[in-house]
Amino acid sequence: MSKPLNIGMIGYGFMGRAHSNAYLKVPHFFDLEYRPVLKACCARSEDKIKEFAAKWGYESYETDWRRLIKRDDIDAVDICVPNNLHREIAIAAAEAGKMVLCEKPLAMDTAQGEEMVQAVEEAGVANMVWYNYRRVPAVTLSKQLLDEGRLGRVFHYRAQFLQDWTISADLPQGGTALWRLDAKAAGSGVTGDLLAHCIDTALWLNGPITSVCAMTETFVKQRKHQLTGQVEPVQIDDACAFLCRFANGSLGLFESTRYARGHKALYTYEVNGEHASLRWDLHDLHRLQYFDHRDDSLVRGWRSVHVSDSDQPYMGHWWVPGLQIGYEHTFVHQVADFLDALAKGQPCEPTFRTALETQKVCDAVLQSAREGSWVSIG
């Protein structure tokens, strides 16, 4: 008989749905000591949160996150609200002795992130940041192949995250669903929202980044704020590209934009090593492209590995070999890993401390773009 783990969800947007779905699905596919219980959800708007609670099966709802955190029947607080609220909620939750699961990026900046790390570590509570793409089976397989040394010495790491949803100058900034355009709520634009994913994956696959040289651009300089109706300067980065050096001697090239017409969420990375290369693409997420120079030259070439066999990462928990899974499953995997780690008394990656490293790189990227020079990461 599994033990209940009572979840208190704060927020009801895209991520509130993705995480709630994962909590519901995980016990059906993974045998775990803990079983998530959708105990309560929380948002300021009573109408909205009542509807959300009914739709996803939460037992109760709150309209004040401080009340949710104080409740004795909540074990873990899940933060799915805009970035400017992460710090305060996470610290209060940790001080109340709750486990804290926080949407990415960890914080608005490194200074906030450091406070959050200190809070969860001092409280000794389990913590994790939702960098979900690590749990795409093909991405996890990349990690396995790199750790096995199959690529040999790594020379290049290249990543892109391209979207096109903010091209229209008529799109307002701020408010529900549009807070990612408002620097006061998001902290930054594509750097914290999209490059943060690329950086988290890169640090995991290829190790620490030691220095960066970046450029950013804001193509639409002012937009109407959805809440105030005022036309205000846009302070987020619409696009960002950076070069970097990794501690292992390899060179990195990263690019992200919300102005790449035709691309909705094209996250890709490629790693080139001495013996082999690999390439992954979110639009074809169950495939890993792999080239191995050690293959017989007569048949050497890029292989398109359909990551759907039961001995490939996570796939043994799903259907039968050959049948693929998708985006939502990355969250199910992350919950499964969190619950498994909890049962074993171990941390689940990426912890707040690990995610702080991504935050540091994001800050260095933004600093480099402002100053027009290389920035070292200590």
Q: Which amino acid is at 244?
A: C
The set of long-range contacts for 48-57, using a CB threshold of 8 Å and a minimum separation of 24, is 48/12, 49/12, 52/12, 52/16, 56/17, 56/20, 56/21, 56/24, 57/24
Q: Identify which of residues 14 and 302 has a Cβ nearer to ligand SOE in the complex.
A: 14
Residues that bind ligand SOE (CB under 6 A): 163, 193, 197, 265
Residue that has been written with the tokens 């501690």 in this structure? 247
E-strand stretches of the chain: 3-10, 34-42, 60-62, 76-79, 99-103, 127-130, 154-162, 209-217, 222-224, 231-233, 239-246, 251-257, 266-273, 276-281, 287-292, 303-306, 375-376
Residue number with CB closer to ligand SOE (163 or 173): 163
Residue type, 247: A
Instruction: Select the residue whose beta carbon is closest to ligand SOE and give its number.
Output: 193
Query: Count of alpha carbons within 13 Å of 299, Cβ hemisphere only?
Result: 3
Closest approach, Cβ 172 to ligand SOE, in A, equals 16
- Closest contact distance (angstroms) between CB of 214 and ligand SOE is 20
* Residue 108 or 342 having the CB closest to ligand SOE: 108
Q: How far is the CB of 83 from ligand SOE (least distance, A)?
A: 10
Name the residue nearer to ligand SOE (CB basis): 260 or 265: 265
C-alpha dist (Å) from residue 315 to 5, 112, 138, 323: 25, 37, 10, 9
Provide the greatest CA pair distance for the chain.
Answer: 67
- Least spacing, CB of residue 154 vs ligand SOE, in Å: 25
Q: How far apart are CB 183 and ligand SOE at their closest, in Å?
A: 15
CB closer to ligand SOE out of 163 and 257: 163
Q: Toward ligand SOE, which CB reaches closer, 79 or 119? A: 79
Work out how close the CB of 265 gets to ligand SOE at its nearest, in angstroms, rounded to a whole number: 5
